[in-house]
């Protein structure tokens, strides 16, 4: 079942009088529970695709369908609700809320929704995630008291706390050393397996590419390689 579908998506940015064609007609789909890697050089359109899947941007033309919902024409409020329910974010620079501690940062997305689990359920679920990302001893620490790897673990837990269908990770290991980066990837793979959450990365990291179920390679705003599509086509032929 496709959780993400892009059909002939084009995105043009206007920089003054100049037009930048970030995407020139991209079509692919991502299955639920996949560990997906979107790769390509700088300027190839990776970030634009993540923005479109994350419902924080709209295509100039074409269709973006997230968990069965076409994003085109949705209001800001509807897009925010869709993001909140369906998508979790992991940022390159972690982007934790500095005044909140580990527990509160993870809890934060749950407090934004109208439908909330009971306090007990919330606490148990957050405690589980904290335990799962290995920060049981740090739950009352503020982000400035944590290392880069620990911060990214918090970010992973925060991205998963609303039990989203999709987690978007924008170069999650770019600001980490290789050893820490490796452990973060392993953690995400573990969560992917445990929760059947779809993980979509934009990355240069070859480790991620090697363990990904599905690799989409971009160049100059076009898909030049889609491993799943090719496999499917190969299967058909």
Partner 1 sequence: MRILLTIAWRNVRQHKVKTAIIGLIMIIGIMVLVVGNSFMDTAAKGIERYYIKNYTGHLMITGKTRGNLTLFGFQDLTAMEQPVPRIPEYAEIVEFANSLQYVAVVNPQVSATAIVSRGEKTLGATQLFGIIPEQYQAMFPDNVEILEGGFWRPGEQGVLLNKAVAEILEEQVGFTFRPGDKLLFTSVSTHTGMRIREVEITGLFRFKQSNVQLDMVSLMDISNVRALAGMVVGSADPAQLSSEEQRFLGEIDEESIFGSLDSLFAEVSVEEPETEDDFWFSLLEGTEAAQAAAQEDTGAWQYLLVRLIDEKYLKQAEQDFAQFFADKGIAAQTRDWRQGAGALAELSYGIKSVFNTIVLIIAVVAVIIIMNTLVISVTERMSEIGTMRAIGAQKSFVRRMIVLETMLLSGISGLVGVAAGALVLLVLNRIGLQATNVFLEIIYGGPELRPELSWPAVLLSLVVIAAVGAMSSAYPTAIVMKTSPRKAMESSR
CB 106 within 8 A of CB 135: no
Strand order in the sheet with 198-203: 87-90, 166-170, 198-203, 35-39, 214-219, 222-226
Give yes or no for residue 69 binding partner 1 (CB under 8 A): no
**What DSSP state is assigned to residue 91?**
-
**Cα angle value 109/95/20 (rounded, 5°):** 105
User: How many Å apart are CA 87 and CA 163, to the nearest integer?
Assistant: 9
**Which CB atom, from 59 or from 88, has the smaller least distance to partner 1?**
88
Residues in binding contact with partner 1, number by CB under 8 A? 36
Give the DSSP per-residue string, 148-164: HHHHHHHHHHHHHTT--
Subset of residues 32 to 61 that bind partner 1, contact rule: CB under 8 A: 47, 50-51, 54, 56-57
Give yes or no for residue 104 binding partner 1 (CB under 8 A): yes
- Among residues 88, 149, 181, 221, which is the contact residue for partner 1, using CB under 8 A? 88
Give yes or no for residue 77 binding partner 1 (CB under 8 A): yes
- Among residues 9, 11, 146, 170, which is the contact residue for partner 1, using CB under 8 A? 170
Give yes or no for residue 119 binding partner 1 (CB under 8 A): no
Pairing type for strands 2-15 and 18-31 reads antiparallel
Please state the closest distance from residue 231 (CB atom) to partner 1, in A: 30
- End-to-end, the C-alpha distance of the chain in Å comes to 21
- Among residues 27, 60, 63, 95, which is the contact residue for partner 1, using CB under 8 A? 95
Interacting residues toward partner 1 by CB under 8 A: 47, 50-51, 54, 56-57, 76-77, 80-81, 83-85, 88-89, 91-95, 97-100, 104, 107-109, 111-113, 158-159, 162, 170-171
């Amino acid at each position: 079942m496709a959780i993400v579908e892009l059909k002939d998506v084009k995105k043009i940015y206007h920089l003054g009088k100049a037009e930048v064609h970030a995407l020139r007609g991209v079509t692919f789909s991502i299955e639920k529970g996949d560990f997906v890697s979107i790769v390509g050089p700088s300027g190839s359109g990776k970030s634009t695709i993540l923005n479109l899947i994350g419902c924080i941007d709209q295509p100039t033309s074409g269709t973006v369908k997230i968990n069965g919902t076409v994003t085109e024409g949705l209001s800001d409020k509807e897009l925010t609700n869709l993001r909140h329910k369906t998508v979790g974010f992991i940022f390159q620079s972690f982007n934790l809320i500095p005044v909140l501690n580990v527990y509160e940062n993870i809890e934060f997305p749950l407090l934004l929704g109208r439908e909330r689990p009971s306090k007990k359920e919330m606490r148990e679920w957050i405690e589980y995630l904290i335990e799962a990302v290995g920060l049981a001893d740090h739950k009352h620490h503020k982000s400035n008291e944590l290392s880069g790897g620990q911060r990214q673990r918090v970010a992973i837990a925060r991205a998963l706390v609303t039990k989203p269908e999709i987690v978007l990770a924008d170069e999650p290991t770019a600001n980490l050393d290789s050893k820490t980066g490796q452990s973060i990837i392993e953690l995400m793979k573990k969560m992917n397996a445990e929760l059947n959450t779809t993980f979509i990365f934009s990355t240069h990291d070859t480790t991620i590419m090697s363990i990904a179920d599905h690799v989409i390679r971009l160049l100059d705003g076009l898909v030049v390689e889609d491993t799943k599509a090719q496999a499917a086509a190969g299967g058909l032929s």
